Each structure stands twice: as structure tokens, then as C-alpha cells.
Amino acid sequence: MSKVALITGITGQDGAYLAEFLLKKGYIVHGLKRRTSMFNTDRIDHLYQDPHIENRNLILHYGDLTDSMNLTRIIQETQPDEIYNLAAMSHVKVSFDTPEYTANADGIGTLRILEAVRLLGLTEKTRIYQASTSELYGLVQEVPQRETTPFYPRSPYAVAKMYAYWITVNYREAYKMHASNGILFNHESPLRGETFVTRKITRAVSKIVLGVQDNLFLGNLSAQRDWGHAKDYIKAMYLILQQDEPSDYVIATGITTTVRDFVKLAFAEAGVTVTFAGEGVDEKGIIASIDETKFIEKVGEKYLAGLKEQIGKAVVHVDPAYFRPTEVELLIGDPTKSKTRLGWEPEYDLQGLVEDMMKSDIKLMKKDDYLKEGGYRVMNYFE
């Protein structure tokens, strides 16, 4: 008998990788997707199965974390062995603009799922993974952050996720449910949403080296994040639900890097050296030199002459519009518990992550039609 998983947020970065991973393991995967005016399934189109096919193992359901009855019906119909609650309004800066909606979806949404499982009498059958976050540590009380580090959330997103964290713990203790939190530090990939900083950087750097964009505007260049690869992190989610006992785990690399250094690494991946000069809002990233052999290998000879004209020019600038009302300056996780108890080991280091993202974005931005359009939407990641 195949195991049945329900993934909320299946159209997101993590949902797409997790769905692919579980399907390969022989699961029947149900996914919750929102109704949108345009298709929002780009990331899972390669997994899609026509509804007229018999014995499908990927089935999508319209739904929303803000709709209890809809969630209850889907859980009743699908009778999942495992629920991965990945759906969320996941952008920290946007949560300052939409705090009430964020609380509803990210906080109460988790309660709706837990309560549906309880009311449907599935507490012994269904295991629940809650997508908790290193944003809970916010104004960090300890370095590095581990499972026992006190939380100090710094955004409406993090406060909503704090409710979700504790309601998961509470349902575990009150009703003996197999409900666990993965406290995941930032994880990125070629599928990362385009407005998160790493993807914003790799997309912009790709366009700059191809000569179709002049400047990249960023916010806080000194913020430090513990960045891993989403492909590694979804394996940890799976491992958490395979344990006999539910528990909460930090998933991180243990290494932290500034946004500024991520920019340098992204350019370096194309053979371009960028140096930073100036301070505060006047800080600039300037193209200092080009390793021509590497540039030709990674980007292509026909783009070299154009970029050489940019040597000495500032291409990275600070725009305070991207500052947050309250910022999380430093995140660095201690993954000891997940390594020892789950046996979780990431395959990618930061260099491998940047290489994967840059390779994918250079390829994507090169597409003739994409460049002609000055394109925004990302097409077919899995080509």
C-alpha cells in the first residue's frame, strides 16, 4: 500500500521539491493549490498528471489555509498518512504590509489543519510537519541558534509562525499527535521565489552579465543568513515524519554569510569580480575585473565585449525601500540534533548552491524570447 501525503503549498519552492521526492518514494501525493487568475503550477508542471488518467499519484485540490471547511473536507477525502504544512505568506517584508492576512494564513491556518485532523479522528493515523522558521529567533538571544534558544520574532510573519510553532507543540502534548516543527533556516534553489534576496541577486547578476540589465538595487547588504539548498532541506522534512517520536528540529548548515558576500559569489560564478566601496546607503558594488576564460565558459564569448565596457562602473546600489521596519541581522543555526537524531546531511554547500542558481538563471535569461520580452515570469525550470 502506498503512503498518502498531503502537501499544502505544493506550488511553492519546497512543495515542488518535496512532491517530486515523495512521488519517487512511491507516495500518492495530494497537493493544495490556490485558485489564481493565471496558472501557478510552473514548478510542478513536470509532475502534473491529467485528471482523466486512472490511478494518478499526484492529485491537486483547490484550497486555502484561510478556509477551515475546505481544509477539513480535503483531509477527510484524502485520509493522509502525512501532512506537510508548507503553505504560507512567506515573505517577511510583505508581512508588514499584510499583517492580518499573514496571521490568518500562517498562524491560524496551522490550527485549522491540526483541529481538522483531531475532529476527523485521525490523530493516530496522520503525522503532521509544520514549516517553522529561523525567523522565530529574530533578535537572536544566542549564537548559534538551536532548538532551546528563546524566540524573539521581529515581523508579523515571524509572530504568526510563532503561534503556529506553539499550537503544533500544544496539539502534540494535549492530544498525543505526531506533530513536529522543522525550524528551517533559509534555503534557496533555482526554484526560489524571485523576490527573496538570493534569487533576486542571481536573476539580476545573470541579466547584468548578459548585458540586458544595468543595475541591481538591494536593501541591507550586511544582513547575515545561514543559506542551504532546498533540495537538502525537504529531505529533512521527510525524515522528521519518519521518526517514531515527534519532535522539533533545527535544519541549518552552521555557516552564515552576508548579502554582500552572496552578491560577490554570484558575480564570481560568472568570472566577474565585484568590490564594494562606500558606506550605508552610499555603498556601491563595482565591477573590478573579469576572468575572461571563466566568463566565456560560464556565460559565453559573445557577451564579453559588452561587459568589459562596464569595468569600473557601479552595478549594485542600496535602496532603503528594501529595508524592513525591524530587521533580523544575523541567523546561524546549530544542526547537531538533526544530524545526530535524523542522520540528516546536506549535499550542497554555499558554493554549490550559488553555482546551481547561477547556472539555471543564466540559461533562463538567455532564452531569446525571454530577453526580447524583458521577461518577468519564469518559465519551465526543469528543462
Q: Annotated catalytic sites, by residue?
A: 133, 135, 157
Q: What angle do CA 134, 319, 140 make, to 5 degrees?
A: 20
Q: Is 14 in the site for ligand NAP (CB under 6 A)?
A: yes
Q: Which residues lie below 8 Å from residue 70, measured CB to CB, with a gap of 6+?
A: 62, 63, 64
Smallest distance from the beta carbon of 143 to ligand GDD, in angstroms? 15
Closer residue to ligand GDD in complex, CB, 197/342: 197
**Which of 17-25, 90-98, 118-126, 288-296 is the region at the interface with ligand GDD (rule: CB under 6 A)?**
90-98
The residue (of 37 and 293) whose beta carbon lies closer to ligand NAP is 37
Contacting ligand NAP within 61-80 (CB under 6 A): 64-66
Site map for ligand GDD, 250-269, x if CB under 6 A?
---------x----------
Q: Does 90 bind ligand GDD (CB under 6 A)?
A: yes
Environment class of 230 (CB within 10 Å of its CB; exposed 0-12, middle 13-18, buried 19+): buried
Task: Decide if 69 contacts 38 (C-beta within 8 A).
Answer: no
180 binds, among ligand GDD, ligand NAP, none (CB under 5 to 8 A by kind): none
**Residue 135 sits in the site that holds ligand GDD (CB under 6 A):** yes
Residue placing its CB nearer to ligand GDD in the complex, 129 or 185: 185
Are 259 and 221 in contact by the 8 Å Cβ rule? The answer is: yes
Distance of CA 140 to the CA centre of its chain: 21
Residue 340: partners with Cβ closer than 8 Å, 6 or more residues away: none
The answer to whether the beta carbons of residues 6 and 59 sit under 8 Å apart is no
Shortest approach of ligand NAP to residue 89 CB, angstroms? 5
Q: Which is it for strands 284-290 and 272-277: parallel, antiparallel or unpaired?
A: antiparallel
Residue 45 Cβ, how far from ligand NAP at the closest point, in Å?
13
Any bridge partners for residue 188, and if so which?
229
Contact positions toward ligand NAP, by CB under 6 A?
A: 8-9, 11-15, 32, 34, 36, 40, 64-66, 86-90, 105, 131, 133, 184, 186-187, 193
